[in-house]
Chain A
C-alpha cells in the first residue's frame, strides 16, 4: 500500500494500515434468562458485524440466547429444547453485543 496512514509500534512493526479491518463496539445489552427481543441498529447499516450472545456467570445446565441479524435489526431469543429434555437445560442471562468492522 503506497498511500494513506500507517501506524508503527515501538518495534518498528506495522500496527495499522488503511486496509486493516478492525472492530468497533456498536451495541450492548444485558438480557435476563427468559427474555427474547429485538433492537434496531441504524449504525450498522452497510457494515459487517460480529454479533454475540454470551452467557454471564452461567451454570453448566444453561444455554446462550440465539442471536441473529436481519438488515439493521438484531433479534435474540431463548432456544426451546424438546419437551422431554427441556427440564435439564435452561436459558442463561446473556450479554448481547455487536461489533462492526470495515
Chain B
C-alpha cells in the first residue's frame, strides 16, 4: 500500500501517481541531423534504464531507432540511436528528434523551482515534478514492418516501439556464387507524413562476407506507442 506522498487516481479510478512506482520524467530533448550509423546521447547517471522516444523528420527513405543503452555498473549513462536508409545495403541518413525520459531522484533546480507539484517516495526519491514533463501516452497500436500506421488524431507525435527486431541478409546472385556481404539490419521508424509512420529495415552494419545466401528476421510486428 502506498503510504507516502500523494495518491492520485484518474477518472477510471486508476492510479496516476503514488509513492510505490516512479513516473518517467523528461530529462533531455534534442535533434540529430543526417545520422548514418550510431550516435550516443548521454544522460545523468541513473540506476534505472531510460526510455527514449523518437520522431523522424527525414523523408520516407530515412529510418531511425534506438540501438541500445549505455551501462556502466551500476548506472545507465546514455542512449545510442541509429540512423540510415531503408533497405539492405542501402547507404543514407536519417534526421530525427528525440526525448529521453528517466526516473529522477532530483531535478536541476531553477529560479522557478517553487512552482507546481512535486511528490517523493518513502526514500525521498522524486516520483513526480511539475517542472519536468511526464511521459504521457497518446495512443498505442500494432505496426507491421513495411505497412503504414496512421494516427489521424495526433500530429507529429513521438514514438516508442517494442520489440526491437533484428535481421541478417545475404544476397545470392547465382553461379558462380561470389562471396556477398552479410548485412545486419535493424527495424526502425520512417516518417510518411505528420499523421503516419512506417516500420522499415535499415542496414546497421556489414558483418562480413559469405556464400550462404538467405534472410532471416526476428519478427515483423511491433507494439507502437505514441507519446507527447
Contact = CB atoms under 8 A, between A and B. Distances in A.
Interface string A13-56: 00110111111111010000000000000010001101111111
B162 A15 contact: no
Interface in A52-99: 52-58, 60-61, 63-67, 79, 81-82, 84-85, 88-89, 92, 95, 97, 99
A55 B67 CA distance: 7
Interface size class of A (residues with CB under 8 A): 35 or more
A50 B128 CA distance: 19
Given A56-B71, A85-B214, A95-B69, A18 B182 contact: no
A95 B75 CA distance: 12
B97 interface: no
Classify the secondary structure of B's interface with A.
strand
Contacts of A25: 21-22, 24, 48, 103
A7 B48 contact: no
A67 B205 CA distance: 24
Contacts of A47: 14
B155 interface: no
B68 A20 contact: no
Nearest to B114: A10
B163 A22 contact: no
A54 B207 CA distance: 21
A88 B182 contact: yes
Interface size class of B (residues with CB under 8 A): 35 or more
A19 B10 contact: yes
Given A23-B135, A56-B71, A102-B14, A7 B168 contact: no
Interface in B180-209: 182, 184, 204-205, 207-208
B23 A60 contact: no
B162 A53 contact: yes
Contact of B164 (A16, A26, A64, A82): A64
Interface stretch (B27-35, B55-63, B146-154, B216-224): B216-224
Contact of B163 (A26, A53, A97): A53
A23 B168 contact: no
Contacts of A43: 21
B70 A57 contact: yes
Interface of A: 4-5, 7-10, 15-16, 18-26, 28, 43, 47-48, 50-58, 60-61, 63-67, 79, 81-82, 84-85, 88-89, 92, 95, 97, 99-102
Given A20-B16, A58-B68, 16 more contacts: A9-B131, A15-B133, A18-B9, A20-B136, A21-B138, A48-B140, A50-B137, A51-B223, A52-B49, A52-B163, A56-B68, A66-B219, A67-B163, A85-B216, A97-B49, A101-B137
Closest 8 CB pairs of A and B: A63-B166, A102-B14, A24-B21, A60-B205, A79-B218, A55-B68, A58-B68, A10-B115
14 contacts: A7-B130, A9-B116, A18-B16, A21-B137, A25-B21, A25-B103, A56-B68, A60-B205, A64-B218, A79-B166, A79-B218, A81-B168, A88-B182, A102-B10
